[in-house]
Structure 1
Amino acid sequence: MTSLADAVLKQRRISIVKIDDTHYNNPIILLSDIDALSSNDEKHPPCKDNDLKNKPFTKTHKNVLQQLQHRHPNLAAWFLYLGFLSALAFMAFQIHYALPTPVSSEEGATIDPLTGQYRFSEENVRKVVRYLSEDIGYRVVGTEQDQETQDYLIRELKTFKEQAQKQSARQSGEKIDLGRVATAQVPPFPKFDMWVQVADGSHQFDFMSKVVMKMYTNMTNIIVRLSCGPECDKNAVLLNAHYDTTLGSPGAVDDALPIGVMMELIRILSQRPALKRNSLIFLFNGGEESLQDASHSFITTHELRNTVRAVINLEGCGTTGPEILFQANSRPMIEAYRKVPYPHGTVMANDLFATGVILSDTDFRQFVDYGNLTGLDMAVYKNSYLYHTHLDLDEHMEQGLPQHLGENTLALATHLGDDVDLSEGMEQTKDVVYYDIFGQFFVSYSMDMAIRLNIAIGALAVLTLAIGASQTTLRAIISVLLSLAAALLSPLLSAFMIQALGKSMVWFSHEWLPVVFFGPIGAAGMLSVQLAFHNKKSGYGLNELHTLSAVQLFYVAAMAVASYMQIASNYFLAMYSLFSTMALLFNHRRMVAQRKAGKAKASGIDYATYYVASGIQTFYLSHLGFSLFDLIVPLTGRIGVDAPADAIMAIVTGFSVFSFNPPLLAFSHRFGRASLRRIIVWLLCVQMVVLLVGMALISPYNTLHPKRLFAQHLRNLTSGESLLYVAHADPGPFYAPYITQVESLYDTKALFKSGSDNPGDWKAIYPFNQFLDSYIFDTAPYIRKHTTNTTLANSDTPLTEFIRSPPKLVAENVSYNPETGLRKLTILCTHPNYIWTVTSFDAEVVSWSMDLDVPTKEKFRYVVRNAGGYRTDGWRLELEYRANGPNDKLRVELTSMETEGFGRDIERELEGSGDIGVMRKLVKARPSDVSLTYFSAVLSNFDL
């Protein structure tokens, strides 16, 4: 039977390896070359039933053919290939999100049975995290909780110091007892030094296109140094994390987790033999969320600053997954990262962060700008939906995450302290390419090496042209370029539809949902281009060969341009170029072998070639893609009300669809125009169903993926108004029912105002105020109605008159020089029980007492933010500006934030008004799918 079937099916170019002779009624056909099932050859379409009617086949033979036809071999090839790609993505997912097993804090578990040394314990870290984020809570600079945190850290660190001294004394005693035995020499334990720095200072902090002048008062740092002695103290590695939090968050991951990691490192390293080469300095920095004041204070004024040669900055903006190395600026530090057990980082993150697209910043900036340091910036970044929200709690921090961050940091610190010469070769550079390979290995090399490798890859690509392995046409090249454009732009149609139906950001609740909402139409768009450019006149397989060759040429050209521009991220393009070239060489060898065997009449693409072309590319792109979507999707929840979030995610998804597997462009030609047309129609149908069903059933926000709202109770001492502002920070829907609910809470109607209408309304959180549109509620009627003070209830006096001890500005030492036209004064601000003052004024400033240059000699809108430690009651600023005369006073607006209300059920009331709780009422009525950042502030104007 086998020979008969071969004879019959030969016209379809199918080589049958085996038919199960014992089951004739259900034959199993194993194909040695699925490529032969292609109906790509338009001149030889697949057999139809009518073609068989007049053939003299036996019933058995006809059953074989009908069975084969029934199985739709072209679909089998599609599903097999797509299944392979899906398997690659699934494996990448499993590897990408893998975390180490946590180590408990039990005594036996914390000792390594092989070395006898202390191990890093996740449970010890979580104890610190829980105490900071739950027992203390919101640790905003200048609040009582800020002081509680300092006291706790100092107390715990002193305990570690005492334990280390006892261990060192015990070890010294053992050395004395065993001193006569040469082999009993034990390395010394580290010297444990500790400082508490309290300082004033100033610096310019430009962020999000805004210029901010920063002043800080009584800013606190806690510093620990572990060293082997004077020789080690000459060169130090700085490890930094901040213990303060932002306004709306208890900060379990941001940044209690890194604080806990550093505490655990000190516990371990202080009871091990001292590192032999360099000292380690641990900076527990007290003011990062106030715009990096404490790190600036350390690196510009502390006595240890000149010994620091490199920095490791630890941050957190997510709650799950591995930490990532996202900034690095020197070759030695990048090479040191190779020593970590769980590497995760890519220069692509470094390049992306440098563009400013990511609206965030870290203390790393201060160490680089003011200390000229090189180092590594590492952060937890996955599931950043909870970043800077009330949900940043230990219970939402994934098991294994602290272990991952801790073991990596411990390995880095140990290697840098023991083995790296920090006295030379630590220059800043961006000319380093680095990336991890699926979290298992870390690769780094210079930009010069990258260019040499790229030249070699380019030469290999030229070879494919020379031997005919690569055979492209202008038509195919244009089709690839247009397919990329279509993949990028066609998802915008879905974005426009989502916006038109009022369902903006419907994909927000999960990082993978944008792929569902924008992926099908992106794929349909790029395949539609291939359908339009499919050449009916090309012989068997040439459409595929031309397109795959065009894909190769596209990436080789992109690699060349990126190399010329010295873009370190070009390794990604080099990888695509290399494996496209390898696939074409593999295919050429297969085609030559088939022609020699008489199995192929012309050039084409062997089915196995697609697996060679796709294997590494798709596997690695999936690895990168998970990071990309984990980073960008949650970020859209805080990019501002005017940002085109739907369009951004549509384009990002389209690019990912194209990059996931570029050889699909060639594969789409394999079964002819009719098959390709059906696939496009199917994708469009899927897209329409997804949009309609998704928009009907899915909400963009839920409890663990909340919408971010900002609320402030602003009392304007100049106008006498008491207003509640409620704003959002993304372009997603701001539910009318919620505004109605707030209106009913205070029995008043809301007034809408965009951020551009009055940018001063949110000056307390400048420069973030530019992102906010607000609903404004007059709270005065509510307060008068609910106060227990009848005089206050019936008075027409503005409620702001009853605010006790408001912040004030006064001018001292005022003088005017008529010859120069310059007016000088000292601005004195007093703000007892208020924090985070923001002073703004228009002036042509000539000089001031801040330790930074005046940014311009022209008239300019200055905004000066001041942050101070607990019980900091004021500040002063000397100023000289150009005036029109001695009475040309300076008009200054002052906004100050109240200290109460940060995570605790307390609120400052008007004097004599009773317990009204305007802000408390709003917080308690917060919907479960909303995260609320809230505070109260006063605003007033002064003529100085």
Structure 2
Amino acid sequence: MSRPTKRSAKAQAGADWKLLTVAVVAYGVLYGVTTYYFVATAEPLPASADASLFSEGRAREHLHELAEVIGHRQVGSVGEEQAAQYILREAQKVAAQAAASRPDLLVEAVRESVSGGITMHAFKFELANVYRNLTNVVLRISPTDPVAAAKKAVLVNSHYDSTLGTKGASDACSCICIELELARTLVANPKLQLAAPVVFLFNGGEETLSQASNGFFASSRFARDLGAFINLESTGPWGPDVVFQHTGDWTLAAYARSAPHPRGTTLAQDFFDLGLIPADTDYRMFSYRHYGSLPGIDIAFIFDGTAYHTARDEVERIRAGTLQDMGENVLAAIQEFARVLATDPPAATVANSGGSVYFDLWGRSMVIYSHAQAKTLHHAPLAIVLLLPLLGSFGGSGNGSLTWLGLCGNALLALASVLCALLLPALLGAGRAYLSGVQMVWYGRPQIAYTIYLPGAAAGLMLPYVLLPARRGTATARSVGAALLFAAACSALTSIGMHSSFFYGLWAAGAAVAAALSGGGGTGRSWGGATALLLSFLPAIAVAMPSAVTFLAHVMEKVGLAGGAPGVLGLVVADTALGVVAGATALVTFGTLVPYLVEAVGVRRGRQLAAALLALSLTAAGAASAMYRQPYSRDHPKRLLVQHIHKQGPDGAVVESKLSVVGLDSFSLAPVLPPSFLQQPPAEFLNEEWQAFYPLNNLISSGEARSAPGPEPGAAIPALRLLRRGPAPAAAAGQQRKVAAAGVERLELELDTGKGGAWGVMNFTGEVLGWSLSDKVAEVPLSEGGVAHMVRFAANMYARQHRFWLDVAAGSQLAARVYVKHVEESAAEKELLAAMPDWASPAAVVAYHSRWQF
């Protein structure tokens, strides 16, 4: 074999830099396009815009009234009642406008009160979700043409209530205002002819686990003839609006072909379906895949999640153009949904819907294909990669032959690269938090997170390849080995129903194409050859980058709601988790291209680059730890919950009162609690007392408690009263009830919450055979044996008493723990909250805890 000349060595080096230059340009351009895609919005139209057009300016006029003039709108509050009255007045204006100018439309605006209950799973825990006298406002727009009027209607839903401690300007007041402007636009523009009716639901109880939407769907006359739904939500005021759940049928395709700026990714759906995101929406109450019977989509604003469920969810935080974007998208979708429903599509069922793979191309169009198609497409890369060794060598003699043994060896090398990419930034995050004692220094500072984690993740991807060098020209074989790993992951994930596996399939296909087209491996590559190589991977890069960047940013923003953990685990868990996510981001962004890039850099330079990247991460971690002693700011606050607890004795009288405080992340409470609180007499902190927030109490591990004054003189104290105990009547038709050998007794009970509008939880232990609270008895296994029957309840400001019955085995004991929350701040809580720093966002309630035995 002849020795390489200096000329050939220079040519080889030149070829390396050509590939790197093309890669830098390609990634730079795609990152710029992705960033623009996140930032770009439709031009917001002012309130004075043509009446036939959707106007963000007009929607913001409603937003001002609801979020600023009325303000807090928690279920059961005065603000919630005022919001219902305002929305009804505006809906009636739309109806009056239609009566005056649109003889082709029939518009109804009504207020409904709903009571009921449903046994459901929330955050993986079963509970009965019970409600009384919650308010919905319904606006129905129907063509007067008898054929169109007889078609099933499109439901557009959002909620006007806000959660504890926030005005909820974005979540979801902004969506309510979009609905009002959509309805007005449909009436004002005679060119917008509806092929089927449209029902706008403004529901007054989503933050209490979608109670009002369940009440609407279970009892409203407007729910009887629905054909599909569009649910509007917000997890952050910055936008853009993204489809993040759908039922797996025609609705997603209808949205994609009609919306001017369609955005969506199946990645979010996978995480929701797996229960990895601690959040929920009204989508589940309508979806035939959950508790409803309709096909539909769930759309939400996604960014600036540090404001979500905090006092910073304010009108001025909502970025200009986001309401216009969602409004134009939903207006087009309503018309397309109506057109489809006019064709009387067959009813969707779980049996014939396995979901879909979907992703958008920078808000310009969407790619959608069914689960059945995915089962073919997502298994194909594995078959193709396994067949590549039959084609022999690639790229000339420098590459050697691809063999199945070599393929497996290179797949193991790729697995080592994947593990290093995940573990290095995770260990870096954990080490930084442990050594500095400061968690989440990147919270609300995304550029710091990127600088700490992404260089380390990139170094992890490179390490196995630079530590186990091979002769030049083997990049193709190594890339195909990585493709085997990615293709196997794609196939396995598809088999268990995870549709976001398409990322790995695209990377495997890119590597196979690059191998088939390889012309010269890593030696003497021309500009054309470098470009052709990058083009092989371009679809994977272009599709993966937006989702990867979105996911990393979203996780960073939502970690403030992830709950806490005790001890060292609590200190490092958030930083470790973000390191893993950053590693996954790097993995799906560079994929099977990594061997080519490492070879282009060269072994010696590759080791130097990996060391430099690690040094950059370490330097950024050290600097951030020194600069920021706590992660929060006024714009990116720490979420807190405060209870003024009054514990009741066996006779119902208050025997102990305390203030109990918890955080919703793992960062220490110490910096946020003022001396005036800490100097009070200590009280025992009990996790059990946070069962008042079930099932969110499972996110709480520790907190602080101090003695506090008792209730105001004359305050009404909650009580659970036994009205009657006797033989139970025969079970009604369709009623679920277990049978007891000793017979069945019925306990008729009344819960008096002391004040109207209370929220709370009842925990019954004992053998409950049936009840009137919901469709079936909820059961939660206890670690010590037996089961608990958990009930969440809420009511409007006029409802104070709740009557219900329980069926139990004759002669058996029934124990009840009752947690009643009044959505208000006591004088002691107001003093505590006023002394907290502005980077805290607390939500406070007055709670009565009692135990009862029957």
Q: Tell me, yes or no, if the aligned pair for 2:358 and 2:369 is still in contact at 8 Å.
A: yes
Once the two structures are TM-superposed, the CA of residue 570 in structure 1 deviates from its matched residue by 3.2
Hey, what does 1:667 align to over in structure 2? 597
Partner SS state of residue 424, structure 1:
coil
Structure label with greater radius of gyration: 1
Q: Which residue identity is paired with 2:7?
A: R
Partner SS state of residue 304, structure 1:
helix
* Counterpart-to-counterpart distance in 1, 2:754 and 2:266: 47
Once the two structures are TM-superposed, the CA of residue 762 in structure 1 deviates from its matched residue by 1.9
The one-character-per-residue Cα deviations of 1:898-924 (angstroms, maximum 9, x if unpaired) are: 2434xxxxx5xxxxxxxxx21111222
Shift of the 650–321 alpha-carbon distance from structure 1 to 2, 3 Å rule, reads: same
Shift of the 77–556 alpha-carbon distance from structure 1 to 2, 3 Å rule, reads: closer
Q: Does 1:150 align with 2:150?
A: no
Once the two structures are TM-superposed, the CA of residue 534 in structure 1 deviates from its matched residue by 1.0
Hey, what does 2:772 align to over in structure 1? 849
Hey, what does 2:143 align to over in structure 1? 228
Once the two structures are TM-superposed, the CA of residue 672 in structure 1 deviates from its matched residue by 3.6
Hey, what does 1:65 align to over in structure 2? none
Of 77, 83, 99, the residue aligned with 1:165 is 99
Q: Tell me, yes or no, if the aligned pair for 1:717 and 1:801 is still in contact at 8 Å.
A: no
Hey, what does 1:929 align to over in structure 2? 839
Shift of the 131–774 alpha-carbon distance from structure 1 to 2, 3 Å rule, reads: farther
Partner SS state of residue 140, structure 1:
coil
Q: Does 1:683 align with 2:608?
A: no
* Counterpart-to-counterpart distance in 2, 1:323 and 1:375: 16
Higher mean alpha-carbon deviation, 131-140 vs 556-565, is at: 556-565
Q: Which residue identity is paired with 1:515?
A: Y
Partner SS state of residue 351, structure 1:
helix
The one-character-per-residue Cα deviations of 1:505-551 (angstroms, maximum 9, x if unpaired) are: 2222234543322222222223221122212xx3xx32322222323
Hey, what does 1:324 align to over in structure 2? 242
Once the two structures are TM-superposed, the CA of residue 648 in structure 1 deviates from its matched residue by 1.4
Q: Tell me, yes or no, if the aligned pair for 1:98 and 1:321 is still in contact at 8 Å.
A: no
Of 413, 416, 420, the residue aligned with 1:479 is 413
The one-character-per-residue Cα deviations of 1:225-261 (angstroms, maximum 9, x if unpaired) are: 1111343244111111111111111011111111001
* Counterpart-to-counterpart distance in 1, 2:175 and 2:97: 22
Q: Which residue identity is paired with 2:554?
A: L
Hey, what does 2:734 align to over in structure 1? none
* Counterpart-to-counterpart distance in 2, 1:455 and 1:825: 57
Shift of the 922–729 alpha-carbon distance from structure 1 to 2, 3 Å rule, reads: same
* Counterpart-to-counterpart distance in 2, 1:435 and 1:13: 45
Of 740, 762, 770, the residue aligned with 1:839 is 762
Once the two structures are TM-superposed, the CA of residue 706 in structure 1 deviates from its matched residue by 1.1
Once the two structures are TM-superposed, the CA of residue 285 in structure 1 deviates from its matched residue by 0.8
Shift of the 856–386 alpha-carbon distance from structure 1 to 2, 3 Å rule, reads: closer
Shift of the 122–246 alpha-carbon distance from structure 1 to 2, 3 Å rule, reads: same
Q: Tell me, yes or no, if the aligned pair for 1:275 and 1:418 is still in contact at 8 Å.
A: no
Of 745, 748, 751, the residue aligned with 1:829 is 751
Hey, what does 2:215 align to over in structure 1? 297
The one-character-per-residue Cα deviations of 1:71-100 (angstroms, maximum 9, x if unpaired) are: xxx678646643542332222211233111
Shift of the 348–773 alpha-carbon distance from structure 1 to 2, 3 Å rule, reads: closer
Shift of the 511–354 alpha-carbon distance from structure 1 to 2, 3 Å rule, reads: farther
Hey, what does 1:807 align to over in structure 2? 718
Hey, what does 1:772 align to over in structure 2? 700
Q: Which residue identity is paired with 1:815?
A: G
Q: Tell me, yes or no, if the aligned pair for 2:684 and 2:706 is still in contact at 8 Å.
A: no
Partner SS state of residue 629, structure 1:
helix
Q: Does 1:197 align with 2:112?
A: yes
Hey, what does 2:687 align to over in structure 1? 759
Shift of the 544–463 alpha-carbon distance from structure 1 to 2, 3 Å rule, reads: closer
Q: Which residue identity is paired with 1:478?
A: L
Shift of the 870–491 alpha-carbon distance from structure 1 to 2, 3 Å rule, reads: same
Partner SS state of residue 266, structure 1:
helix
The one-character-per-residue Cα deviations of 1:171-213 (angstroms, maximum 9, x if unpaired) are: xxxxxxxxxxxxxxxxx53210123221221111321232221
Q: Tell me, yes or no, if the aligned pair for 1:332 and 1:425 is still in contact at 8 Å.
A: no
Q: Which residue identity is paired with 1:935?
A: V
Of 23, 38, 44, the residue aligned with 1:102 is 44
Shift of the 801–463 alpha-carbon distance from structure 1 to 2, 3 Å rule, reads: closer
Q: Tell me, yes or no, if the aligned pair for 1:555 and 1:576 is still in contact at 8 Å.
A: yes
The one-character-per-residue Cα deviations of 1:629-664 (angstroms, maximum 9, x if unpaired) are: 232112211111126222211111112122221313
Once the two structures are TM-superposed, the CA of residue 819 in structure 1 deviates from its matched residue by 8.0
Of 517, 529, 550, the residue aligned with 1:627 is 550
Q: Which residue identity is paired with 1:874?
A: Q
Q: Tell me, yes or no, if the aligned pair for 1:512 and 1:629 is still in contact at 8 Å.
A: no
Shift of the 253–233 alpha-carbon distance from structure 1 to 2, 3 Å rule, reads: farther
Hey, what does 2:186 align to over in structure 1? 269
Hey, what does 1:62 align to over in structure 2? none
* Counterpart-to-counterpart distance in 1, 2:745 and 2:842: 44
Shift of the 775–552 alpha-carbon distance from structure 1 to 2, 3 Å rule, reads: closer
Of 4, 7, 10, the residue aligned with 1:12 is 7
Once the two structures are TM-superposed, the CA of residue 453 in structure 1 deviates from its matched residue by 4.0
Q: Which residue identity is paired with 2:47?
A: S
* Counterpart-to-counterpart distance in 1, 2:329 and 2:122: 30
Hey, what does 2:282 align to over in structure 1? 363
Once the two structures are TM-superposed, the CA of residue 152 in structure 1 deviates from its matched residue by 0.7
* Counterpart-to-counterpart distance in 1, 2:22 and 2:94: 59
Once the two structures are TM-superposed, the CA of residue 609 in structure 1 deviates from its matched residue by 4.6
Of 895, 898, 901, the residue aligned with 2:819 is 895
Q: Does 1:468 align with 2:403?
A: no
* Structure 1, unaligned runs of 5 or more: 1-8, 16-33, 39-73, 112-117, 169-187, 784-798, 902-906, 908-916
Shift of the 104–505 alpha-carbon distance from structure 1 to 2, 3 Å rule, reads: same
The one-character-per-residue Cα deviations of 1:34-78 (angstroms, maximum 9, x if unpaired) are: 65536xxxxxxxxxxxxxxxxxxxxxxxxxxxxxxxxxxx67864
Q: Which residue identity is paired with 1:527?
A: M
* Counterpart-to-counterpart distance in 1, 2:440 and 2:376: 44
Shift of the 747–452 alpha-carbon distance from structure 1 to 2, 3 Å rule, reads: closer
Hey, what does 2:479 align to over in structure 1? 548
Of 340, 343, 346, the residue aligned with 2:259 is 340
The one-character-per-residue Cα deviations of 1:866-904 (angstroms, maximum 9, x if unpaired) are: 21112112111111213546xx5x432222222434xxx
The one-character-per-residue Cα deviations of 1:267-305 (angstroms, maximum 9, x if unpaired) are: 011223363421101111111111111111111111222
* Counterpart-to-counterpart distance in 1, 2:280 and 2:501: 24
* Counterpart-to-counterpart distance in 2, 1:485 and 1:899: 47
* Counterpart-to-counterpart distance in 2, 1:839 and 1:129: 36
Higher mean alpha-carbon deviation, 325-334 vs 758-767, is at: 758-767
Shift of the 272–189 alpha-carbon distance from structure 1 to 2, 3 Å rule, reads: farther
* Counterpart-to-counterpart distance in 2, 1:819 and 1:497: 59
Once the two structures are TM-superposed, the CA of residue 737 in structure 1 deviates from its matched residue by 3.8
* Counterpart-to-counterpart distance in 1, 2:251 and 2:842: 39
Hey, what does 1:401 align to over in structure 2? 322
Q: Tell me, yes or no, if the aligned pair for 1:93 and 1:622 is still in contact at 8 Å.
A: no
Once the two structures are TM-superposed, the CA of residue 806 in structure 1 deviates from its matched residue by 1.3
Shift of the 246–455 alpha-carbon distance from structure 1 to 2, 3 Å rule, reads: closer
Q: Tell me, yes or no, if the aligned pair for 2:642 and 2:844 is still in contact at 8 Å.
A: yes
The one-character-per-residue Cα deviations of 1:739-762 (angstroms, maximum 9, x if unpaired) are: 3x2x42574154574xxxx33312
Of all paired residues, the percent bearing the same amino acid is: 26
* Counterpart-to-counterpart distance in 1, 2:711 and 2:47: 53
* Counterpart-to-counterpart distance in 1, 2:707 and 2:780: 42
* Structure 2, unaligned runs of 5 or more: 396-400, 729-739
Hey, what does 1:19 align to over in structure 2? none
Q: Does 1:572 align with 2:503?
A: yes
Shift of the 348–850 alpha-carbon distance from structure 1 to 2, 3 Å rule, reads: same
Hey, what does 1:581 align to over in structure 2? 512
Partner SS state of residue 720, structure 1:
strand
Q: Tell me, yes or no, if the aligned pair for 1:712 and 1:934 is still in contact at 8 Å.
A: yes
* Counterpart-to-counterpart distance in 1, 2:228 and 2:354: 16
Q: Tell me, yes or no, if the aligned pair for 2:236 and 2:306 is still in contact at 8 Å.
A: yes
Once the two structures are TM-superposed, the CA of residue 476 in structure 1 deviates from its matched residue by 2.6
Once the two structures are TM-superposed, the CA of residue 829 in structure 1 deviates from its matched residue by 1.6
Higher mean alpha-carbon deviation, 847-856 vs 375-384, is at: 847-856
* Counterpart-to-counterpart distance in 2, 1:646 and 1:688: 14
Q: Which residue identity is paired with 1:418?
A: R
* Counterpart-to-counterpart distance in 2, 1:686 and 1:330: 44
* Counterpart-to-counterpart distance in 2, 1:122 and 1:673: 56
- The CA RMSD measured in Å over matched residues stands at 2.9
Once the two structures are TM-superposed, the CA of residue 767 in structure 1 deviates from its matched residue by 1.4
Shift of the 397–464 alpha-carbon distance from structure 1 to 2, 3 Å rule, reads: farther
Matching of residues 53-202 of structure 1 within 5 Å: 78=20, 81-106=23-48, 109-111=49-51, 118-168=52-102, 189-202=104-117
